Amino acid sequence: MTAKSKTQPSTLQVFGELDNLGSSRAELMVYHVVAPDSGPGLRFYDEEGIVAEGGIHAIEQTLEKESYWYKQLACIQEEGGSSSISPFEYVEPDPCGSDWKDGRRNPGFGGTELERHVFRTAFHAVDQMLQSWKQEEDGMIDAYTLKKLKVTPQRLRSIVKALQVIPAVHEIVEICVLKYWYEASWAEPPLPDLVLAEYALNIPLRFGWSVDRLIAVDVLPFATC
C-alpha cells in the first residue's frame, strides 16, 4: 500500500485496498469529498499516509481547504484479517446530508445558515437535473454529474438579501459537468470513475420561497437563457 492519499479512485480500487490490509493490524481512513477542482470522489489514507500527512487533523484541514463538502465515511481498524465494517456502507450519494462538513470552497462557508442552505439546495437541484440526462445505448450508460457550481460568496449573499424583499430571484449560473460511463450490467457506480468529458454550461436558476418557508431552487428550461 502506498504512503499517500489517492484522489477519486475507482470504487473497486477502494474495496481492493480493504482486501489488501492483510493479517496484521492496519488502519484505513475513507472520505467522500465534493470538490470543485476534481468533482465528487473518494479519498483514502492508509497508516503510512496518515502519518505522512501529519495526522487526521491535518488531513481534514486539507479537505476543508479544497472542498465544497467532505465526510468521513469509515475508519477501518482491522486485526487478524477480519473487519466489522462492510465497504458497501461507504456509498453516500447525497452531498446535502446533515453530517457533511462544509469546505472553504463552498461560497456559504463562514456565512449564515440560510446562505449555506441556498447553495446546498442549488447544487442538489442541478445535480438532480443532470441525473435525468442518463442514457443507455448498446449496453453502455452515459451519465452526468455536477463538478462545479460557479457562485461566489458575494453573489450568494446578494441572492439571499434580495429574497428578503422579493419573492423570487432569477440567475444565469455557469456550471461544470462531468460525463462518465459504465456498463448497464454493473451496479450503478456511486461516483464517476470513468470520465469521458467535461463541459461548461450556463443554466437558468430560479430561487424562491417554498410553501414551508424554505428557499427552493428550480432549474428552468435552457431556452430562457
Q: pLDDT per residue over 173-206, tens digit each?
A: 999 999 999 998 887 676 788 899 999 999 999 9
Q: How much is the pLDDT for 190?
A: 66
Contact present, 157 and 111 (Cβ < 8 Å): yes
Instruction: Report the SS3 class of residue 16.
Output: helix
Query: Which residues of the chain register pLDDT less than 50?
Result: 1-25, 81-93
User: What is the rounded CA–CA span in Å between residue 23 and residue 30?
Assistant: 20
Phi first, then psi, for residue 92 (nearest 5°) are: -145, 90
Q: How much is the pLDDT for 225?
A: 54
Residue entry with cell 442541478: 126
Q: How much is the pLDDT for 12?
A: 42
User: What is the rounded CA–CA span in Å between residue 101 and residue 154?
Assistant: 21
pTM for the whole structure: 0.80
183 forms beta bridges with 140
What residue spans of 54-99 are helical by DSSP H? 56-66
What residue spans of 8-148 are helical by DSSP H? 11-19, 47-53, 56-66, 113-131
| Angle between the N-to-C axes of helices 153-162 and 113-131, in degrees from 0 to 180, rounded to the nearest 10 | 100
Helix (H) or strand (E) holding 197, with range, is strand 195-209
